[in-house]
Amino acid sequence: MKNTPASTISWQPGRAQWFDVGANRLRLVRAPDKRLAALVNLLEQADKSLKLFFYMFEDDSTGRKILDILIAACKRGVAVEMMVDSFGSNGAPRNFFDSFVQAGGRFKIFSPRFSTSYFVRNHQKMIIADDCCALIGGFNIADEYFAVHEPSGGDDGEDESWEDLGLEFNGPEVASLASYFRLLSDWVYRDNGNMRSLRKMVRLWEAGNGQFQWLLGGPSNRLSRWARAIKNDLEQGSRLDLVTAYFSPGQGLLRRIGGVSKRGGHSRIILPGKTDNGATMGASRLLYGYLLKRHARLFEFQPKRLHTKLVIVDDAVYIGSANFDLRSLFINVEMMLRIEDRAFADHARSLIDILHEHSEAITPDLHKSRRTFLNRLRWAICYFLVNTLDYRVTRRFNFGILK
């Protein structure tokens, strides 16, 4: 990969670091209270427009707080539009959003009716304010993403919150994200549930070719922009740092990950030690032996459930909504922002260093002790369910079907 100039770092004691990359300002927001503060500030400071998409929007204390802020924005004259995914947000009663609509908000549900398209999920999370400021990442609108606990909830000493990450930025690149949001909104209002037109939108989206690339993934028989970009970087890169909640790539990407360390580079992969989905963890562990033989360094994060999605290959940083599994790479609608900048990549790695300190190293001896016959059978079944059955059934139902 080509070398890129270091960005200008804005060092402000006691405050989060802002990076100037081109004409844009960026900062990573990790702590739950800081992410919530950044979200609330973005919503409350908007004076013209707000555009939001969330996979999950829950009827809990966080969801009610954010909905009240959106209603207040509508009442002060801000044009507010929000979309949520039908599968991810099915825990909230549909009348939960009625007060928002009555206040003047524009609201739609992605693929609201049960059909074959219901298996294709829109997994994106984004907030755009006045088309000039934005917040993206892996977090949804629900208490567990901000370490918020309902007053009536019990306390058994177990941390049920998620370790997650957001990227706050402002500058001309936000206009590209706003342009994509308008395309998605047009599809939801005009062709909601039509897989053929959704696939066309994903295929024709222009990601850009500079320091910033908005890489869209979605249901397709071809490599998406997001899948193609990470494939190319892995083929050329010499240093990989990867953090993801769900890790079960196909054989092609797995070979490319193994190839980084095999050809003399360095790979550090941090995966969950705790999860809400045991099948995804089992599917990941089936792949550990292959990666360890190729000298990749593997770790499992221990303090809480891991939901962060962050990939760094040399000077390129990928951040957004996508995990590193077949569903995120080839089926779900996902947006990953690729930022090529040496200093920002170094800063993002320092965040991964923090996660590394709280992770258990998966050594060959530890993996061997876990790799009993029964566990291998469980891992194989998990991999089949996550990477084979789910992937093939969803593709059979949706790809090539004109609706």
Query: pTM of the full predicted structure?
Result: 0.90
Cα distances (Å, whole numbers) of residue 265 to 240, 300, 312 = 8, 21, 13
Q: Which of 95-104, 183-192, 216-225 has the lowest mean pLDDT?
A: 216-225
Same domain, 59 and 100: yes
Q: Which of 220-224, 242-246, 320-324, 372-376 has the lowest mean pLDDT?
A: 220-224
Contact 285, 180 (CB under 8 A): no
* 281 assigned to some structural domain: yes
Q: How would residue 77 be classed by pLDDT, with cut points 50, 70 and 90? A: very high
Is the model more confident about 223 or about 10?
Answer: 223
Contact 221, 229 (CB under 8 A): no
Same domain, 231 and 274: yes
Phi-psi region of 45 (alpha: psi -120 to 50; beta: other; left: phi over 0): alpha
Same domain, 283 and 384: yes
* 403 assigned to some structural domain: no
For the stretch 224-237, pLDDT in tens is 888 899 999 999 99
Q: Token pair of 285, please?
A: 């562990």
Arithmetic mean of pLDDT, 102-116 = 84
Q: What's the chain's average pLDDT?
A: 88
Same domain, 131 and 249: no
Is the model more confident about 299 or about 158?
Answer: 299
pLDDT at 117 over 80: no
CATH number at residue 223: 3.30.870.10
Q: How would residue 129 be classed by pLDDT, with cut points 50, 70 and 90? A: very high
Count of structural domains within the chain = 2
Same domain, 266 and 367: yes
Same domain, 52 and 147: yes
Distance CA 233, CA 1 (A): 7
For the stretch 14-64, pLDDT in tens is 346 899 998 999 999 999 999 999 999 999 999 999 999 999 999 999 999
Q: How would residue 330 be classed by pLDDT, with cut points 50, 70 and 90? A: confident
Q: Which of 129-138, 157-166, 264-273 has the lowest mean pLDDT?
A: 157-166
pLDDT computed for residue 150 by the predictor = 54
pLDDT at 177 over 70: yes
What domain range is 86 assigned to? 16-191
Same domain, 75 and 215: no
pLDDT computed for residue 158 by the predictor = 60
Arithmetic mean of pLDDT, 273-289 = 91
Same domain, 175 and 199: no
pLDDT at 297 over 50: yes
Q: How would residue 2 be classed by pLDDT, with cut points 50, 70 and 90? A: very low
CA nearest to 340, candidates 366, 359, 312: 312
Arithmetic mean of pLDDT, 76-87 = 94
* 10 assigned to some structural domain: no
* 160 assigned to some structural domain: yes
* 298 assigned to some structural domain: yes
pLDDT computed for residue 4 by the predictor = 47
Q: How many CB atoms lie within 10 A of CB 399?
A: 17
Same domain, 256 and 164: no
Arithmetic mean of pLDDT, 354-369 = 97
Is the model more confident about 121 or about 388?
Answer: 121
Q: Residues near 342 by Cβ (< 8 Å), separated by ≥ 6?
A: 3, 4, 5, 6, 7, 315
Q: Look at residues 151, 170, 191 and tell me which one is the last residue of a structural domain.
A: 191
* 289 assigned to some structural domain: yes
pLDDT at 11 over 80: no
Same domain, 204 and 309: yes
* 334 assigned to some structural domain: yes
Same domain, 178 and 233: no
Same domain, 180 and 222: no
Q: Look at residues 170, 191, 212 and tell me which one is the last residue of a structural domain.
A: 191
Q: Which of 72-76, 111-115, 244-248 has the lowest mean pLDDT?
A: 111-115
Q: Look at residues 191, 206, 240 and tell me which one is the last residue of a structural domain.
A: 191
